[in-house]
Structure 1
Amino acid sequence: MLRTHQNQVTLWDSILPESLLSLPAELERIDQILNDERFMWPFLENFNTTMGRPTVPVQTYLRLKYIKFRYQLGYETLVQEVSDSLHWRRFCYIAIDQKVPDATTLIKARKRYGEGTIEHLNELLVKKLSEERVIRHRKFRTDTTVVESDIHHPTDATLLQDGVSAITRTINRIRKVASHATEGFVDQTDIVKRKVLSFAKVLRRRMSRSWDEVNKITQDVVEITESVLQQAESVIEKLQRSTKQSVQKQKHGLQSLVDQTERLLEQAKQVVSGNRIIPDRLISIYDPMARPIKKGKLAKKVEFGYKVRIDETESGFVTGYAVYSGNPSDDEMLIPAVEHHQEIFGSAPHAVATDRGFGSRKNERVLQEELGVKHVSTPFRGKKSKKRTELEQEPWYKDLQRFRAAGEAKIGLLKQKYGLNRSRFRGHSGTAVWVGFRILTHNLRRAAQVSK
């Protein structure tokens, strides 16, 4: 059952001094913003039901999320810190004699509401701030970055180790409810672990023949994994006769892990045989949709995760974003980004500035002729004509490029202060939620700073 509000008035309100009842300036301004009833719309439209147990009130949920992402707290730490703070309790509409929602409850709520809800909340906030003339939107800039998945650096042997470990853990859980099906299964996780740890000793030599030894160790891990898969398939076959729902659920989970590990096994065999270029290779069984992405960085030649587009205006607010699977070309993202800006604010921006990754003659023509953008500062790649060179030397063009360069600082701020560098929520949907809440937190804090 969806609850949007919670009555905060208690006996303690008449006992506590005023200094404890008043909120700090930042939280007070954010509380005023979130009290707008429009922020209840995404929840009422999609989750308004009178059946089941009451949910965490939406006004409490949103404020708990702000504190979590504002101070980069884990769920357990969040619950503990809010429990110990009168100001944070007041901000989250949790009375002194009331228990703070459990960490598992907040995790389930996040999974239930999904990426569509947080995306809608961000749009509503931007529209509200635009109506209050807090956001100016004549200038527009966009850039892309990579949000890394919460996975380790993938190598063929360590990925097979993950598969063996996950299969073994699942079979150990099955042993508690259907021990007959797991008879004969041998735990080989320690053997695989020793093989993987031996890589460090081999690679420390820094000699060309070390790669032959690496391939030999990988081949040993491949053979162990094949043995584990055979045993796992035998367990699945024995579970076919069971009618228990819990057992069938465990069986489907085990089958999924076996399928993914078989794919990893095939990849490892190709690498050992000499084929090191495998398109669409699986880089994690825990986040199968994560992809290796090259952005030309010296420190990190390859990042593993999802590509994210960040849109911004001259007011310093993030007005749009999108999370992509793989590494699509930047020039494919510019027109949808400007169209989204036009949908949010009701008009196209006066000026658009991007780096050369977004630049193309087609994009420039569409922006000027179809969308009505007056000034477009998108440098082209490759050799330029004399006319193009003269255009890029114009003062307004250079001014927009300086405006564009500040967008990289915004991305750096989001990564360092708001945790956008690595998503702790797995999968494309989880990463979209992670990015959405980070941007919502940034915009709320920015609104509180502007209104001081």
Structure 2
Amino acid sequence: MCRHSPRRLTEPAFCCFIVSNEAHSDPPSSHQTRRRHSLHHRDPPRLLAPSPYPPSHRLCRLRPGPRPSRLGPDRQLSWRTHQTDQPLRPTDTHGPPVVAQLPNTQGHLGAHLRIEPATPAPGEESMTRIAEPQLGFADLELRHQGVHLDPLLQAVAAFLDDQATLVEQVRQDLVRGLKNPNTGRSGITPSQALRSLILMRVKNWDYRELRERINDGYTLRGFTNFDSHRVPKHDAFNRAFTRLTPETMRAINQAVVQTAVQLGLEDGRCLRVDTTVVATDIHYPTDATLLWDTVRTVTRLVDKLHEELPRGVQGFTHRTRSARRRMQELERMSATQRQTQQVPKYRELLRITEQVLENARQVVKKTAKVKGMDVIRRAVIDQLCQQITAYRGLGEKVIDQTRRRVLDGEQVPVDEKVYSIFEDHTDLIKRGKQRTPVEFGHKVFLAESAQGLITDYQVLDGNPADTNQVKTSLDRHQQVFQHGPELYAGDRGFYSAENEEHCRQAGVSRVCLPQRGGQKTAEREALERSPAFKKGQRFRVGIEGRISVLFRGRGMKRCRAKGRERFEVLVGAAVLANNLLRIADLLLHRKPARLSKAA
């Protein structure tokens, strides 16, 4: 027994199997023998060269190591799904070919793994910041254990794997504005950003829950391509999603619809349309609350500016407490008190707001003359001054509309009103609904096919009539499907004699738009009572359910993102999640083609 054996039993030991061919090798020298015995007292050596034999993950228990680099010097470990009837062929690499094939299981996360060269394709850039992460050995083990995705998410993942152009659209947004995408920290990849956004809208999660769910479950890690790598914090997802543009989401949705047409899942022969209102994240606006918002927001920004300036801010008076008291008094007034006390209280609140805005203007003017600061602090101060100036402009509009409406008794036009200083793009929508007579947000036009795919969506400006959307929707449908629909169904808000004529010119054989107002002729009465017209109206009701799904399940009821662009991105992401789930469901329940009988 070796004299060092007791030490081996008490301390962690390393076991290394060395396979060598000693049939034609020289006998070891005494120096080599002493060196071999000395290795028992050291850390195990690293393998500097790959083995000529393919490793087997079935036989080896791999110890988790440090996070692998995203791009190796000449090779990269990647995974992709292949058809089961396609044999794997080794790729041309500098070293020996290594192919690890996992069992083919329905819904398995990744079927094959292989080492591929990391050189980019012709015309592509090698961007380390947004390169796809390399798989680790832990991913091999988990895939071998047969971890399954939800069948619907697995179908969505397989569909996204085949659509590389969708990821390219996201990549262009992520690198937009970067001086050198090849340098800096590694960020969220385009594939991870797109899949995480889809998952966020499918599950209707916020940013924190999205991060926790992905970090906690391996199936969602596989769907979002994070695998065993570290999942970033929730604000990283927010920054990545903020870089996406409405044009990108619209292009991705159009590509998804075109792919559904190519797969034979959609023909565009039936179309049902409707409009709805997506609310912005604002409180119910009143003149008093808008003035109070202006005072407290400008004061808060001036306080931040005071902390950044070397000598602080001079000549600014805090009036938040007095403004809040006037606002609360106005909001708590009864109908009788408003007749005598409303105008004097509004005069006081207007005077306070004007004083705060004038003081803020003087502060910004003096700050522009301050010198002797470093570049970083100067940039922060300039940004604060820009924000103060922007809120001052909105506050002046609020003061103007309050004075015209309350003091002068003028009816202010809708397009000249400000309903929120935080979401100034908000529109006032009146649709004649009894439960919600007034809504604040944006009107959204939706067109749905018979298969449940939203083939067209538009975020409208203001509150246009539904009759204005028929001709433009037919033109966009013609561009997508190269033909007009056979059935066009909508509610009575879309009806007009001109719209029926537009439908006939577009090749629509059945126009199911109920007449609105006026005396119906006998011919019109017979048309609306016909079985074909009633069937078309029953088909139209389906879009009401689709809107309900978008509101309750895809987070489109209220947009909590800031700005008009973020609003349109949210609508586009909800539509994209709906279309991908519908395509996945159609692919899962698609009946195989019947084989023709032999003659």
**TM band (smaller chain):** over 0.9
Match of 1:416 in 2: 552
Partner residue of 2:536 out of 400, 403, 406: 400
**What amino acid is aligned across from residue 309 of structure 1 in structure 2?**
F
1:374 matched to 2:374: no
Partners in 1 of 2:342 and 2:348 — Cα distance? Answer: 10
| 3-state SS in 2 of match to 1:224 | helix
Partners in 2 of 1:226 and 1:275 — Cα distance? Answer: 20
Partner residue of 1:109 out of 229, 233, 240: 240
Partners in 2 of 1:368 and 1:309 — Cα distance? Answer: 21
Q: Which string of whole-angstrom CA distances, capped at 9 and with x for unpartnered residues, describes residues 60-114 of structure 1? A: 1111112211222211221122111111111111132x22133222222222221
Q: Show the 5 A alignment for 1:184-199.
A: 184-199=315-330
- Do the aligned residues in 1 keep the contact of 2:173 with 2:243 (CA within 8 Å)? no
Partners in 2 of 1:274 and 1:409 — Cα distance? Answer: 46
- Do the aligned residues in 2 keep the contact of 1:2 with 1:47 (CA within 8 Å)? no
Match of 2:407 in 1: 273
- 1:2 deviates by 8.2
| 3-state SS in 2 of match to 1:182 | coil
Match of 2:270 in 1: 139
User: Which deviates the most, 257-266 or 374-383?
Assistant: 374-383
Partner residue of 1:290 out of 426, 430, 434: 426
Q: Which string of whole-angstrom CA distances, capped at 9 and with x for unpartnered residues, describes residues 156-187 of structure 1? A: 01011111111111111111222546212122
Q: 1:76 to 1:326 in 2, by over 3 A?
A: same
Partners in 1 of 2:302 and 2:232 — Cα distance? Answer: 33
Match of 2:89 in 1: none
- 1:47 deviates by 5.8
Q: Show the 5 A alignment for 1:269-418.
A: 269-275=403-409, 277-279=411-413, 280=415, 281-369=417-505, 371-383=506-518, 384-418=520-554
Q: Show the 5 A alignment for 1:230-269.
A: 230-242=358-370, 244-269=378-403
Q: Quick check: which one's helix share is greater?
A: 1
**What amino acid is aligned across from residue 167 of structure 2 in structure 1?**
M
**What amino acid is aligned across from residue 166 of structure 2 in structure 1?**
F
Partners in 2 of 1:181 and 1:4 — Cα distance? Answer: 42
Q: 1:212 to 1:426 in 2, by over 3 A?
A: farther
- Do the aligned residues in 2 keep the contact of 1:64 with 1:92 (CA within 8 Å)? yes
Match of 2:345 in 1: 217
Partners in 2 of 1:374 and 1:17 — Cα distance? Answer: 53
| 3-state SS in 2 of match to 1:230 | helix
Match of 2:104 in 1: none
* Matched length: 447
- Do the aligned residues in 2 keep the contact of 1:219 with 1:272 (CA within 8 Å)? no
Q: Show the 5 A alignment for 1:64-143.
A: 64-96=196-228, 98-143=229-274
Match of 2:579 in 1: 443
Partner residue of 2:167 out of 40, 49, 52: 40
- 1:240 deviates by 2.7
1:16 matched to 2:150: no
Partners in 2 of 1:15 and 1:136 — Cα distance? Answer: 43
| 3-state SS in 1 of match to 2:476 | helix
- Do the aligned residues in 2 keep the contact of 1:294 with 1:302 (CA within 8 Å)? yes
Partners in 1 of 2:213 and 2:323 — Cα distance? Answer: 41
TM-score, scaled relative to structure 1: 0.93
Partners in 1 of 2:549 and 2:332 — Cα distance? Answer: 39
- 1:426 deviates by 2.6
Identity of aligned residues (%): 28
Q: Which has the larger radius of gyration?
A: 2
Q: 1:40 to 1:424 in 2, by over 3 A?
A: same
Match of 2:19 in 1: none
Partners in 1 of 2:310 and 2:318 — Cα distance? Answer: 15
**What amino acid is aligned across from residue 202 of structure 2 in structure 1?**
R
- 1:48 deviates by 6.0
1:208 matched to 2:336: yes
Q: Which string of whole-angstrom CA distances, capped at 9 and with x for unpartnered residues, describes residues 321-341 of structure 1? A: 000121011111111112212
Q: 1:59 to 1:46 in 2, by over 3 A?
A: closer
Partners in 1 of 2:254 and 2:328 — Cα distance? Answer: 48
- Do the aligned residues in 2 keep the contact of 1:4 with 1:58 (CA within 8 Å)? yes
Partner residue of 2:192 out of 60, 65, 82: 60
Gaps of 5+ in 1: none
| 3-state SS in 1 of match to 2:366 | helix
Q: 1:380 to 1:181 in 2, by over 3 A?
A: farther
Partners in 2 of 1:306 and 1:231 — Cα distance? Answer: 35
- 1:276 deviates by 5.5
Measured on the aligned residues, the alpha-carbon RMSD in Å equals 2.2
Partners in 2 of 1:109 and 1:397 — Cα distance? Answer: 47
- Do the aligned residues in 2 keep the contact of 1:325 with 1:428 (CA within 8 Å)? no
Gaps of 5+ in 2: 1-126, 372-377, 589-599
- 1:55 deviates by 4.1
Q: 1:120 to 1:17 in 2, by over 3 A?
A: closer
| 3-state SS in 1 of match to 2:425 | coil
Relative contact order higher in (CA < 8 Å, ≥ 6 apart): 1
Partners in 1 of 2:340 and 2:569 — Cα distance? Answer: 43
- Do the aligned residues in 1 keep the contact of 2:153 with 2:223 (CA within 8 Å)? yes
Partner residue of 1:163 out of 294, 302, 309: 294
- Do the aligned residues in 1 keep the contact of 2:459 with 2:568 (CA within 8 Å)? yes
Q: 1:161 to 1:170 in 2, by over 3 A?
A: same
Match of 2:112 in 1: none
| 3-state SS in 2 of match to 1:322 | strand
- Do the aligned residues in 2 keep the contact of 1:3 with 1:58 (CA within 8 Å)? no
Q: 1:382 to 1:2 in 2, by over 3 A?
A: farther
Q: 1:183 to 1:45 in 2, by over 3 A?
A: closer
Partners in 2 of 1:45 and 1:192 — Cα distance? Answer: 47
